[in-house]
Amino acid sequence: MTFIEPCGLTEYLHGRKKGLLRLVLYSIVYQALGIFSFLIPGSASAPRRRRGQSPGETGLSIVPMPMVYPSNRVDSAPLENVNAAIFRQALKRRVLRFIGQDEESIAIVQNPFWGLVLQRGDFTTIAYDCLDEITLFSGAASVERFGGYERRLLDIAGTTFVTAEKLEERLRAIAPGRPIVRVPNGVDLDWFEDCAAGGGVPADIQEASHPIAGYVGVLRAWFDFDLIGHLARTMPDVSFIMVGPLDFEFRNAHLRTIPNLRWIGRREYGEMPRYISAFDVCLIPFLAGKVSQTTNPVKVFEYFALGKPVVSTPMHELLTFRNDGLLRLAQGKEEFASAVRESLAEPAGEIQDRRREMARRHSWRALTELMLSSLNIGTRP
């Protein structure tokens, strides 16, 4: 099985700097090859296969793609075609040339852009793993083109996976009759509990006074900064801790003056259980819109893994959990604040066990088995 991922430049800049030069050089090589193949289309033909050679011995090969030009945020179809040619060259030389003619091969891709890159016959099976609304992968100027790439990907994919009901509805309308399987997000419950118990409270929040209302995850355009600011100002007895990379910090500089609101910044994923364990209530303050209605948030299962009460703005994928009494959905600043107060007053007990059980039912292993069975692949013991 081959899993193709982006170059991960952000990860290199935050903890993997030793490999950054190699990544840059690797990208330059494939950018040159891609531009050459774009100018001379015949050079992008199918690669010569080498029977019996494989890039990995474990049955799973994770292949990073080179850095490409930032074209999806502007109206730049030519740049997108160049980027596709770069990816195509890397795919040929890093993956396809090692697959024997009679060897079974599976590619799982997540970005609709791969619809512009992949060709029928590249792999025995191509799976499209649709994680989010398409606008997260494209800018306003390129949504229509990315929609075209996605339609091509749906056409060549043997199976499409979606994380949310609204995503499934949209794709079924685009490609009626195509195999689409809903696979929500999940969590490794045992790992989360072990990490939470093993390290204690992170040093940078040890002095934070309780109760603590916290959030873990990226803080981007869909995050309701005004709501968090209002909560912190009107609930001075509560410490609000935001853990994760913050986009456009200058736009929210005024929030840094609120004494009980702290922005921790990016932390390694292995540290997340310790932060969540220190929270008294966990938050998902997303703005209303396509993102909130089509996202199955991973963090809700991470919060549940530690039995934590959760308050979220209304999200379609969380309605079932609200109906089961596992979390609170609140609309508007005052209603959200009241829900936080109610959660802080929630007594410990059976509800925590029910949340952990829900997290266990959404284990990554169970979800992986569902995906592999949909691809007619058995999991190893």
Do 271 and 212 belong to one domain? yes
**Interval 311-359: pLDDT, tens:** 999 999 999 999 999 999 999 999 999 999 999 999 988 999 999 999 9
Binned at pLDDT 50, 70 and 90, residue 26 comes out as low
Do 129 and 223 belong to one domain? no
Do 136 and 43 belong to one domain? yes
Rounded CA separation 252/246 (Å):
9
Binned at pLDDT 50, 70 and 90, residue 243 comes out as very high
Rounded CA separation 180/185 (Å):
16
Do 116 and 254 belong to one domain? no
**Interval 256-271: pLDDT, tens:** 899 999 999 999 999 9
Of residues 143 and 26, which shows the higher confidence score?
143
8 Å CB contact between 100 and 41: no
Give pLDDT, residue 203.
Answer: 94
Tell me if 380 is assigned to some domain.
Answer: no
Do 193 and 223 belong to one domain? yes
Tell me if 379 is assigned to some domain.
Answer: no
Tell me if 151 is assigned to some domain.
Answer: yes
- The half-sphere exposure of 210 on its side-chain side, counting CA atoms within 13 A, is 9
Binned at pLDDT 50, 70 and 90, residue 244 comes out as very high
Rounded CA separation 221/133 (Å):
14
Strand, helix or coil for residue 305 = helix
Tell me if 212 is assigned to some domain.
Answer: yes
Rounded CA separation 263/272 (Å):
14
**Interval 259-305: pLDDT, tens:** 999 999 999 999 999 999 999 999 999 999 888 889 999 999 999 99
Of residues 131 and 342, which shows the higher confidence score?
342
CATH label of the domain that carries residue 63: 3.40.50
Tell me if 286 is assigned to some domain.
Answer: yes
8 Å CB contact between 330 and 311: yes
Asked if residue 214 has pLDDT above 80, the reply is: yes
Binned at pLDDT 50, 70 and 90, residue 89 comes out as confident
Q: Which amino acid is at 130?
A: C
Give pLDDT, residue 49.
Answer: 46
Asked if residue 308 has pLDDT above 60, the reply is: yes
Average the pLDDT over 100-122 and give the result. 86
Average the pLDDT over 25-40 and give the result. 67
Rounded CA separation 302/359 (Å):
7
Do 282 and 346 belong to one domain? yes
Do 196 and 107 belong to one domain? no
Asked if residue 20 has pLDDT above 70, the reply is: no
Asked if residue 41 has pLDDT above 90, the reply is: no
Do 141 and 195 belong to one domain? no
**Interval 147-167: pLDDT, tens:** 899 999 999 999 999 999 999
Do 356 and 221 belong to one domain? yes
Domain that holds residue 267: 189-361
Of residues 92 and 297, which shows the higher confidence score?
297
Tell me if 261 is assigned to some domain.
Answer: yes
Considering the chain, what is the average pLDDT of its residues?
84
Do 315 and 231 belong to one domain? yes
If one counts the domains in the chain, the total is: 2
Asked if residue 18 has pLDDT above 60, the reply is: no
Give pLDDT, residue 111.
Answer: 86
What percentage of the chain has pLDDT greater than the value 70? Answer: 78
Average the pLDDT over 55-67 and give the result. 63
CATH label of the domain that carries residue 233: 3.40.50.2000
Do 211 and 138 belong to one domain? no
CA angle at residue 377 from 177 to 120, to 5 degrees? Answer: 55
Do 214 and 284 belong to one domain? yes
Give pLDDT, residue 109.
Answer: 87
Asked if residue 106 has pLDDT above 90, the reply is: no
Full strand arrangement of the beta sheet holding 261-265: 261-265, 239-243, 212-216, 281-284, 310-312, 328-329
8 Å CB contact between 379 and 347: no
Give pLDDT, residue 4.
Answer: 67
Tell me if 381 is assigned to some domain.
Answer: no
User: Any idea which of 89-103, 175-189, 205-219, 351-365 has the lowest mean pLDDT?
Assistant: 89-103
